[in-house]
A and B are shown apart, each in its own frame.
Chain A
């Protein structure tokens, strides 16, 4: 049951092969039994989950069920959940229980899904390894000595380990796609504005975007359809209709033009990973797509641009954690300055502090023009590069990451080496484009992801491409041995 996709479970529920309560109970047992080795959950919600599952079973029995009714899933602990602690992986919010649901949570609940719990993550979504969590590192189910990627590492590991069929994630610079690649699952970061950010704890407001993480493109399509749509409470959410993402999944790839940015296949890409990507591209070509070499000439600006804009926004987004209204407060503050200083000193971890410092510096008087303004200009160049490519091609493809999952602790003392992990994913956020990672092979027993990037609001084309690829390959069906057949 735990290796089934969302689509398979939905069919099973509709055909009464099993009930939502049975699936829910089975997965809760797996989490209880197996998650100690992965640490992918921060919080589980057994009672509430079983109650929702029972309600879903009633709807299924009454014939009043939608495509996701009774499907268990998990939410990254960045999404506020009414009455359930929402920590964002931080000591700062360890005691924070929101009185409201994020729009993503609300929509998926309204679609009938059953929330099993909240998944581990890098603190405030800052990280590429999930080692920056107040609740401890998450282990990659394919190799528990390796990181699962970050920041949505808990969601990716939980799906890979067969603890949930799907989970929500967020992606500010690759935080859905990179852990999806490392854990051998399928993850989609939609176009900026496609899914409401309301109730999603902000990291970098102009880059943050929620998305689905699951085993297949088809599952991502089912989830995206429920998650997407205009939300008047988020001014940056876009008011345009949500298409039927499942409608065109099977469309043949004949005539599809796929651009391969030369900058994504050069120095830095590990050879074995490159081979997997080439093989995947060959498969797409076999299905009728044409491969075209393209260029994103400003790619070299991506990392510096991202590491100014994201920390700048983060530095002020995180100002609200001041120990005054909610969240962590230091003991016995002597005065206001002491309250602020010690609360934030004790409440935030090192990476969060590092980014607050960088961002504060970049926005400071006298540095603003040299850093923030320049980064905004570079951001426009990066976006224009993509738009120019999309005049020649329909989809851009390349590796999600330079190589497979690295070892725990391997890069934790070298922030810059860690930042380089995101070299292929960051630009997509800067340009506001949709991007996906699809399992495309194994290197030394560890998964490798193929990244697909689309035009603004062309998620359906990415899902179609990925789905066709998954119809012809079985990488997405591979499961790590440890979590295998419990």
Chain B
């Protein structure tokens, strides 16, 4: 039987506020354990939460970005369960009245098509601490630095149909939240964590099958692999006439498999009820509009603008607009170089290629946009050829300075001086009697081919710096 996967994602996004959602402790990643946990974060007796307005602002920015209904009156609830890294014995979250309601946004697929994905809701909550099982023999260490870090839990509709779509959704989400500046989106540091709900149904059916939930998957690649694995697992069960059990599973990246969580790790009844220590969050229209005013150009808006303004195709525009720093970099190069098409090509092919090879992000690119723009200008003003430019780029990457510095230091400036080139042409002709004979005997059509040999020899003699156009003109004249 042909099975159709139905996938929805719950993304836990750490918001980039300076302090925690209910306390003044800093949220910096990687500090010594328990140095960023205050009495509030430790749930000391009598301590009370105070809502960080910036977290609400960030959530509303997200809601406005996806055209969602904004909860004018949202309520915090307590989600009760016991775990050592949950200091209060409950998590402050939002249950029935979230700050962001229904919304949607478009994702781009590799084949160039696009799909609209629904967002069910997004709500604010606090992160838990971390339980550290390594380094403690027979004991568990608790680090509460992360406890109270603001999270926006973004719940998608079950609109995704395969692993590639899920990854495209996550990438689009990543792009959106980093554009908005509401999260660093750093998956390796846990800033964006994903739960996957997945079920199968017979292709063409409208009803939903029984789903499994895969918890806490922390990279695009693992999401893809976990979904593929889970589709295979569930279709094997269904093909054999079995039934999928509704359960929570964990993805084990080392073994590339999902397996059920121990039942103790799954709390059944969270006993949600309104958090009496916090008042409902009431948002005035004027406040919401003021937040809307602060929204930057969003990824898809930028993509459309790039396509129109720089005459790029939709795919290229999408690649360049995928991250705000990359888009800013590209626009700076295009502006300074004066030719957006060549700028787009260089950024996309050479720069991104080099970044990928070194596994670096645009933020740590060693070649500033002004240097790349200067390099492109040197191609445009015929100071260097495209081929030499790649050499210059490598030198710039290695830290040898800007384009002009590298060209001067390495003597790479293109030779266009007719006298100098004429001497080289003469030298080549003098040393290539056989080829000259062959050339002279050939007809017009063959000569075009044969002239390449002479050009090549002159280029070799000039160490690639001869202006090919001038060389061609000289050869045409000298060979008659």
Give A residues with C-beta under 8 Å from B.
79-80, 86, 88, 93, 96, 98-100, 102, 197-202, 204-206, 232-236, 312-313, 315-316, 319-320, 322, 324-326, 336-337, 340, 360, 363-365, 368, 372
Q: Which chain A residue lies CB-closest to B39? A: A100
Residue of A nearest to B43 (CB): A320
Chosen A-B contacts, 30 in total, with CB atoms closer than 8 Å, are A79-B46, A88-B45, A96-B45, A100-B39, A199-B46, A201-B45, A202-B277, A205-B277, A235-B49, A235-B51, A236-B276, A312-B273, A316-B78, A316-B80, A316-B89, A319-B80, A319-B82, A319-B88, A319-B89, A320-B45, A320-B87, A325-B42, A325-B44, A336-B84, A360-B271, A363-B80, A363-B271, A365-B268, A368-B273, A372-B273
B279, A320: Cβ atoms closer than 8 Å: no
Question: How far is A66 from B446 in the complex, measured between Cα atoms in Å?
Answer: 110
List residues of chain A with CB within 8 A of the CB of B44.
Answer: 80, 98, 100, 325-326
A322-B82 in contact (CB<8A): yes
CA distance A99 to B46 in the complex (A): 12
Q: Which residues of B contact A200 (CB under 8 A)?
A: 46
Q: Is B47 among interface residues, defined by CB-CB distance under 8 A?
A: yes
Report whether B90 and A201 are in contact in the complex, using a CB–CB cutoff of 8 Å: no
- What residues of B have a CB within 8 angstroms of the CB of A313 in the complex? 276
Q: Is the interface of A mostly helix, strand, loop or mixed?
A: loop
Interface centre among B39, B43, B44, B88 (most CB of A within 10 A): B44
Inter-chain contact B42/A206, CB cutoff 8 Å: no
Asked whether any CB of chain A lies closer than 8 Å to the CB of B278, the reply is yes
Q: Nearest B residue to A237 by beta-carbon distance?
A: B48
In whole angstroms, what is the CA distance A291 to B32 when docked? 66
User: Is B110 close to A, CB under 8 A?
Assistant: no
Bound-state CA distance A38–B33 (Å) is 46
Which B residues have a C-beta under 8 Å from some C-beta of A? 39, 42-51, 78, 80, 82, 84, 87-90, 140, 142, 264, 268-269, 271-273, 276-279
A151 to chain B, nearest CB (A): 15
A-side contacts of B88, CB under 8 Å = 319-320
Tell me which residues across on chain A come within 8 A of B84, comparing CB atoms. Answer: 322, 324, 336
Q: Are the CB atoms of B87 and A364 closer together than 8 Å? A: no
Chain B interface, DSSP helix/strand/loop, else mixed? loop
A366 to chain B, nearest CB (A): 9
Given contacts A316-B80, A322-B89, contact A236 B277 (CB under 8 A): yes
A198 touches B142 (CB 8 A): no
A419–B39 Cα gap in the complex (Å)? 34
A residues near B82, Cβ cutoff 8 Å: 319, 322, 340
Tell me the complex Cα distance, A372–B95, Å. 16
With A and B bound together, what is the CA distance between A197 and B47 in angstroms? 9
A117–B85 Cα gap in the complex (Å)?
A: 34
Measured between beta carbons, the chain B residues less than 8 angstroms from A322 are 82, 84, 89
A79 to B45, CA, bound (A): 9
A313 vs B48: C-alpha distance when bound (angstroms): 14
Q: CB-nearest residue of chain A relative to B89?
A: A319
| Contact B279–A235 (Cβ < 8 Å) | yes
Known: A80-B46, A363-B271. 17 other contacts (CB 8 A): A80-B44, A98-B45, A205-B276, A206-B276, A235-B48, A235-B51, A235-B278, A236-B277, A316-B89, A319-B89, A320-B45, A322-B82, A322-B89, A325-B87, A364-B269, A364-B271, A365-B268
Q: In the complex, what distance in Å separates the CA atom of A204 from the CA atom of B273?
A: 13
Chain B neighbourhood of A100, CB < 8 A = 39, 44
| 3 tightest A-B CB contacts, nearest first | A319-B89, A205-B276, A363-B271
Decide yes or no: A236 and B273 within 8 Å by CB, A319-B82, A320-B88 being known contacts: no
| A235 CA to B50 CA, complexed, in Å | 6
| Pairwise interchain contact B45-A93, C-beta atoms closer than 8 A | yes
**Docked-complex contact B48 and A197, CB < 8 angstroms:** yes
In the complex, which residues of chain A have a beta carbon less than 8 angstroms from the beta carbon of B45?
80, 86, 88, 93, 96, 98, 201-202, 320
Q: Does A232 lie within 8 Å of B273, measured CB to CB? A: no
Nearest Cβ in chain B — how far from A334, in angstroms? 11
* Bound Cα distance A325, B47 (Å): 14
Question: In the complex, which of the residues B82, B90, B271, B278 has the most CB atoms of chain A within 10 Å of its own CB atom?
Answer: B271
> Which residues of chain A are near B49, meaning CB under 8 Å?
235
Complex Cα gap A80–B47 (Å): 10
Looking at the assembled complex, report how far the CB atom of B95 sits from the nearest CB atom of chain A, in whole angstroms: 11
Q: Give bound CA distance, A286 to B153, whole Å.
A: 64
Q: Which residues of B contact A198 (CB under 8 A)?
A: 46-48
Taking the nearest CB of chain A, how far is it from the CB of B426, in angstroms?
A: 87
Contact A319/B90 with A100-B39, A232-B50, A360-B271 known, Cβ cut-off 8 Å: yes
Whether B46 and A102, one on each chain, are in contact in the complex, defined by CB atoms closer than 8 angstroms, is yes
Question: In the complex, what distance in Å separates the CA atom of A235 from the CA atom of B272?
Answer: 20
Closest to B277 in A: A205
CB-nearest residue of chain A to B269: A365
Distance (whole angstroms) from the CB of A373 to the closest CB of chain B: 9
* Complex contacts, B271 vs chain A, CB 8 Å: 315-316, 360, 363-365, 368
Cα A204 to Cα B82 in complex, Å, equals 19
Contacts of A365 in B (CB 8 A): 268-269, 271
Do B273 and A235 have beta carbons less than 8 Å apart?
A: no
- Residues of A near B272 (CB, < 8 A) are 363
Measured in the bound complex, the distance between the Cα atoms of B50 and A96 in whole Å is: 24
Q: How far is the CA of A336 from the CA of B81 in the complex (A)?
A: 13
List residues of chain B with CB within 8 A of the CB of A319. Answer: 80, 82, 88-90
A447 to chain B, nearest CB (A): 31
Instruction: Report which of A98, A99, A235, A324 forms a contact with B277, defined as CB distance below 8 A.
Output: A235
Residue of B nearest to A231 (CB): B48
- When distances are taken between beta carbons in the complex, the residues of chain A under 8 Å from B279 are 235-236
B-side contacts of A96, CB under 8 Å = 45
A96 to chain B, nearest CB (A): 7
Measured between beta carbons, the chain A residues less than 8 angstroms from B39 are 99-100
The distance in angstroms between the C-alpha atoms of A325 and B272, with both chains bound, is 24
Contact for A201 among B42, B46, B87, CB less than 8 A: B46
